[in-house]
């Protein structure tokens, strides 16, 4: 019997079309949130901030997107640098996935990080997110 270890030429279970659909869904949710801001003058309130006055890691994201739509990258960074870095990473993923869907080369993480599942990415983001939330509330 052969090894269960994937080879360099083995197909992966990642589908860039699925990744692009997920980003599109995230974009639609964001579009709905920013639409509320433009129509009502305010987005959905953060439950943590409402209950405790503390900022969560994504507090300020709607403000950052509003600034980006107005072309003010500096103000967007000031509103929430953490989510701006995430947005940059997602934009890079989108470009890589679009290239792959169009027939270009597949871009994959190093072997030691595979499989790059939603759960693994979420766990990897949890530490920086908590650290960012602590620091932004202390400073």
What residue numbers bound the domain in which 102 lies?
35-107+116-134
- Residue 92 in any domain: the answer is yes
As a whole-number percent, the residues of the chain with pLDDT over 90 amount to: 51
- Residue 80 in any domain: the answer is yes
Cis peptide leading into residue 115 (ω within 30°): yes
pTM here? 0.76
Per-residue pLDDT band at 126 (split at 50, 70, 90):
very high
- Residue 139 in any domain: the answer is no
As a whole-number percent, the residues of the chain with pLDDT over 70 amount to: 91
pLDDT at 81 > cutoff 90: yes
In this structure, how many other beta carbons lie within 10 angstroms of the beta carbon of residue 96?
17
**C-alpha span between 94 and 19 (Å, rounded):** 8
- The structural domain count of the chain equals 1
CA triplet 81, 98, 126: central angle to 5 degrees? Answer: 35
Give the lowest-confidence range in 5-9, 52-56, 92-96, 99-103: 5-9
- Residue 22 in any domain: the answer is no
pLDDT at 12: 54
- Residue 44 in any domain: the answer is yes
């Amino acid at each position: 019997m052969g090894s269960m270890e994937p080879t360099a030429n083995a197909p992966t279970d990642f589908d860039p079309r699925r990744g692009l659909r997920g980003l599109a869904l995230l974009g639609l949710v964001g579009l709905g949130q920013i639409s509320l801001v433009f129509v009502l003058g305010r987005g959905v309130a953060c439950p943590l901030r409402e209950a405790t006055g503390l900022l969560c890691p994504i507090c300020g994201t709607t403000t950052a997107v509003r600034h980006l739509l107005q072309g003010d990258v500096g103000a967007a960074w000031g509103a929430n640098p953490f989510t701006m870095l995430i947005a940059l990473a997602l934009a890079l993923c989108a470009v890589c996935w679009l290239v792959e869907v169009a027939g270009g080369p597949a871009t994959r993480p190093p072997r030691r990080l595979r499989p790059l599942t939603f759960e693994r990415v979420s766990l990897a983001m949890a530490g920086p997110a908590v650290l960012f939330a602590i620091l932004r509330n202390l400073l």
